[in-house]
Each structure stands twice: as structure tokens, then as C-alpha cells.
Amino acid sequence: MTPIHVVGIGLEGLAGLGATVQEIIRTATLLVGSDRHLQLIPHGDAPRLSLRDFHATFKAIQTHLATTPDPQVVILTSGDPLFYGLGRWLLEVFTPDQLTFHPHLSAVQLAFSRLKLPWQDAVIYSAHGRDLAGLVPLLQRGVEKIAIYTDGEANIAAISRLYQALHLPVSYRAWVCQALGSAEEAILRWDLAQPVTELPPVHPLNLVVLLRQPQHLPPREQPVFGLGDDQFFTFGDRPSLMTKREVRVLALAELALTSTIETVWDIGAGTGSVAVEIARLAPQATIYGIEKTAIGCQLIERNRKAFGLTNLIPIQGAAPQSLSGLPQPDRVFIGGSGAQLLANLDYCWSHLKAGGRVVLAIATLEHQGQVLHWCQTQQISPQVLHVQLSRSVPLGQGHRLHPLNPVTLITLSQG
């Protein structure tokens, strides 16, 4: 038998442990744990060591092992010691041969069982002793289920502030699972968009579960342009795959829309966010949103209906083939083309009306180089705008800047 037993224990104490583990605790020569964990065990003959300073505690355990005949050290910890727990620290100090782990149900298991939800597809994030920066990409990717181990700083209030600052294209609802397994157990359902001043008191021992919500239609009151990313229906598995609000605003400026334009092509329209903005700003024009994927065209149509637009027409098909037969454009926005980038550029430039403009949003250096080389061969002088933007997100009591992916806008003008 190994000399050190690491026992996961819940808030229900000994009652939640099996007979074998209870006997190991009863016969321990040293009982180690936080004050909270030690209070769960009735006093016996074994001396107790409060786990406050890891280095000092581990040194005391080593001394006990060296000076005690047949030592049996029991270290109490929450849930599963090897899941965001004390286990990994112990394995850095003691050999595996010295350790036996007795896992209890983790807070994540208990939380999802209370919510009656499968959790094999959940992403687990621990905010113990660190900020919430690692949560940002999970939210931006639109992960469906996120479980967050919180602490005194990275709590539900901080999560709410972060969520509100990100202006996500998807919405989440939170469940704050408190004191699971104890008489004080409670689960709070919380809308992350609510002011944190309305948040009721929360038990310090809690785990937050975030669940992505179905998208709803945007409210009727909207800005003239620069719609929030969260106002569009987006790809369920890739909600961040859209032209971000800040880049969209700059692209609209580069397009230089006027009251006399009649036709606009949006190639690689994706969710239709740019096409929607153009259709709202130029109600006299017809905007064709060309998108090769069926789901993309469905999203364009949903967004068209959501904003009550009659001058936006989704077209499913690959460009440039699907452009044949369309009216000559006054403006063209190319937001996605893949391998057909130069073929699309050739076609659009040759069909553009006099005085028209083509604006390209380029994400890769390779495509940027191809377009600039094409301009050189065509003896066209492009206007290049490299966009590197950051949004503020909460960091503790302050804020930090979280960068958006860089984009290069290249504008070509006829005449």
C-alpha cells in the first residue's frame, strides 16, 4: 500500500465516501487538507496539518514519512484530485509509487447532472488564480457548453462584464451552480446581459456553466450603419466567421456608396453582414450576395428578412461562374474567394461600370501579394489599408486590449 492517499471529498463529507476510503481516513497517521476539508472529518487520533503553504506542507509530509513507522498520510481535496486539482502538484514532489488517488465526483460532473445535460462535448476552463483571458477565444468561437471553475476574482460578475464587453455574435446564458452536494446547494440562472448590479449574493463555492442560446431576430431600433456583430444570424459552429463590425465600417467607407448607384455585388458574402449594411445604406440599389454554400445563403436570407430588406438577393453558387447574367455593378465587395480570388478580380474589374469601385478584404499575406501583383500587371494604383484593431475587455479591476484578426482592405477605382 502506498504511504500517501489523496482523497477527493464532497461537501457532504464522510457520507459521500465508500467504506474502503472511510477506513483509510480512520487509520491515517496524518490528515492533511484545507481548514474547510478538515472540518468535514470528525476528530480522531491522527494529527492534522492545515494545507495553506504548499512548500511547507509538502516538506512536513516528507518529514512525517521519514520519521513515522508505517506512515499513512491522507490528503483531502475537492472532487477529482487529478482534474484541475492538487494531484499535479503532488506528482511534482512525490513519485507515483508513493501516491494513490481516490477521486470523488468533480464539480463539473455534479453541475451537469443537476442541469440534466450531457457534458462530453463541454469545454472546461479553470480561472483559479488566473484571469479570464483564456475564456475569450472560447466565447468568440461560440463553444456550445463551457464550465468555468471560478475564484474570488474570476467570478460570475467578472464573467458577465467580459461577456458584455465582447459584443459576441452569439448569446449565452449562465447557470451558477453553488455549494453542490451540501445543504446550501443552489443553482442560479443568470442572463449575462443583465447589469451585474442586479446579481444576487452567490455562494463562494461555485462553478459557472455557460450554454449557448438559439439566435433571435435583432431588435427594431438599429444604428444607421455599423451594426453589432450580435445582430446577425451566424454559422452555428463558427459564429466568429463574419466581417467584424469595425472592419465592416471601414469597408463601407472604402466602397464610397452614393445615392446614384444601382447594383452592388458582394462576393463570398458569408452571413451577408456587409450586404445587409449596403442594402440599408443604399435602398435604391440592388445588392447581390453571392455565396457558394447553402447554409451561407440561408443565413443571408434570414438576415435579409430580419432587417426587412427587399433589395438584397442571395445567390448560391461559386464565383465567377455565378456572376454571369447579373447587371453590371457600380460597386463590388470581395470578402472571400479562396483559390478563385484572381479569377473573380479579373471578372469584376472587366464588368465594373465606369467610375465604379472594387474593395477586397484580404486575410492572408499570400492573397495580399497576389492582388498587389495583379494590380501591377494591370497598371492599377491600389489604395491599401491595413487594419489592426483591438477591443477592450475587462481584466480584474481594469481593462486590457484584445486584438482582432488583422485584415487588409484593398480598394481599386475605375476612372
CATH 3.30.950.10 positions along the chain are 108-213
For the entire predicted model, the pTM comes to: 0.62
Strands (DSSP E) contained in 145-234 are 145-149, 171-178, 186-191, 206-213
Q: What are phi and psi of 21, to 5 degrees?
A: -70, -40
Half-sphere exposure (CA, 13 Å, Cβ side) for 187?
17
Band of residue 333 on the pLDDT scale cut at 50, 70, 90: very high
The Cα–Cα gap between 289 and 272 comes to 7
The Cα–Cα gap between 36 and 403 comes to 41
CATH 3.40.50.150 positions along the chain are 229-413
Band of residue 279 on the pLDDT scale cut at 50, 70, 90: very high
CA distances from 341 to 67, 325, 336, 338, 376 (A): 74, 20, 8, 6, 16
What value does the mean pLDDT take over residues 143-161?
A: 92
pLDDT of 52 > 80? The answer is yes
What value does the mean pLDDT take over residues 3-8?
A: 95
pLDDT at 148: 97
Name the helix (H) or strand (E) containing 75. strand 73-78
Q: Which CATH number fits domain 4-105: 3.40.1010.10, 3.40.50.2300, 1.10.150.530, 3.30.1300.10?
A: 3.40.1010.10
Cell 477591443 locates to 391
Cell 431600433 locates to 221
Domain boundaries 229-413, CATH class: alpha beta
- Number of C-beta neighbours around residue 95 at 10 A: 9
Contact 388, 328 (CB under 8 A): no
Contact 192, 172 (CB under 8 A): yes
What are the pLDDT digits (tens) for 234-244?
A: 877 676 678 99
Contact 290, 269 (CB under 8 A): yes
- DSSP at 374: H
Task: Tell me which CATH code domain 108-213 carries.
Answer: 3.30.950.10
